């Protein structure tokens, strides 16, 4: 999947589309999901034009990687879900269900989340 500079997250980063920001540093922006799946459902995106973790880990600088990962930790702490537990999810590629071609992590928390992936049907 190629990076599309007109994807919704690129537009949010450029200020063309508003978001409910919860955290920002030099390398990441975190905002509330518009269709939350849990009491805490926050998206954390890197500020650089990266499609996936493969793209990010290959092409981002060490400073960008550290700044992004630290932002995920800060957002979880500030959301108050560290003690009770939370889930980090990133859909990558077509089989992974990625809809926006910009790397992003979902942070879910605030309730028991249940099974992560259902077992595959055996034929």
Helix (H/G/I), strand (E/B), else coil: 92: coil
- The total of other beta-carbon atoms located within 10 Å of residue 63's CB is 10
- The total of other beta-carbon atoms located within 10 Å of residue 100's CB is 16
Per-residue DSSP letter, 7: S
- d(CA 76, CA 60) in angstroms, rounded, equals 23
- Known catalytic residue at 104: yes
Q: Considering the candidates 41, 102, 104, 106, report the single residue annotated as catalytic.
A: 104
Cα 63 → chain centroid: 18
- d(CA 66, CA 18) in angstroms, rounded, equals 26
Active site residues: 104
């Amino acid at each position: 999947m190629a990076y599309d500079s007109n994807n919704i997250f690129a537009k949010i980063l450029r200020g063309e589309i508003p978001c409910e920001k919860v955290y920002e540093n030099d390398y990441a922006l975190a905002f509330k999901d518009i269709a939350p799946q849990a009491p805490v459902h926050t998206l954390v995106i890197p500020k650089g034009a990266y499609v996936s973790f493969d793209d990010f880990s290959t092409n981002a600088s060490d400073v960008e990687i550290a700044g992004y990962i630290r932002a995920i930790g800060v957002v979880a702490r500030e959301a108050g879900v560290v003690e009770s537990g939370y889930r980090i999810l990133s859909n990558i590629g077509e089989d992974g269900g990625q809809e926006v071609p910009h790397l992003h992590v979902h942070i879910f928390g605030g309730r028991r989340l249940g099974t992560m992936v259902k077992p595959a049907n055996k034929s």
